[in-house]
Amino acid sequence: MSALSKSPWIVHYNASSCNGCDIEVLAVLTPLYDVERFGVINTGNPKHADILLVTGGVNAQCRKPLETIYNQMPHPKVVVAVGICATSGGIFRECYNILGGADVAIPVDVYVPGCAARPESIIDGVVQGLAVLEEKRKKFRKQKEAYKLTYEYLTGKTDAE
Ligand code: SF4
């Protein structure tokens, strides 16, 4: 389990954002806001990420890629919807091609309001996401322990992973 107690890494996906929220996400990573001081690192690889930041509403084209990125991330993981578009579809929600916010495709843990979401709000959302991630990690550890004990009980072996 020590592999899971590392600093949280994030992966960012622009669903159909106008780029306003994406610029604010980038601002969070610059030295001005410097989210790396919390140990948060931006990675391009979902397989290395703990937190998925989604910007923009979800349409038919981006739904599948968003689901794929989510499914490629290891458990436990957290999703933060950044901006009102990722939260609900926002000002584009009545458009013919918009299905809604990120939660039409994947489970969302934290919703960050704003148009565009301010860097302070995004950092706040990530910090809330860290608390959710910690809770999920605890639950994951308990499930793994329960699985191990069941395996040992049923098989008499002690090599469950
Ligand atoms: S919330 Fe506003 S800034 Fe962000 S993607 Fe939507 S329209 Fe653009």
The pLDDT of residue 147 is: 82
pTM here is 0.88
Q: How many helices (H) and strands (E) does the chain have?
A: 4, 7
The answer to whether 105 and 68 are in contact (CB under 8 A) is no
d(CA 90, CA 32): 28
Is the CB of residue 132 below 6 angstroms from any atom belonging to ligand 1? no
Weakly modelled stretches of the chain, pLDDT under 50: 1-4
Q: Which CATH architecture has domain 2-155?
A: 3-Layer(aba) Sandwich (3.40)
Using the mean position of ligand 1's atoms as its centre, give its distance from the Cα of residue 55 in Å: 8
Residue 4: the pLDDT is 45
Count CB-CB contacts under 10 A for residue 81.
30
pLDDT for 2: 45
Rounded-to-integer distance, Cα 143 and Cα 150, Å: 10
pLDDT of residue 5: 54
Structure confidence at residue 150 (pLDDT): 85
Ligand 1: distance of its center to the CA of 82 in Å? 9
pLDDT digits (tens, 9 = 90+) for 50-88: 999 999 999 999 999 999 999 999 999 999 999 999 999
Start-to-end CA span in the chain (Å)? 11
- Per-residue pLDDT at 63: 97
Question: 116 CA distance to ligand 1 centroid (A)?
Answer: 5
Question: Domain residues of the chain, as ranges?
Answer: 2-155
At residue 40, the pLDDT reads 85
Instruction: Provide the β-strand partners of residue 78.
Output: 51
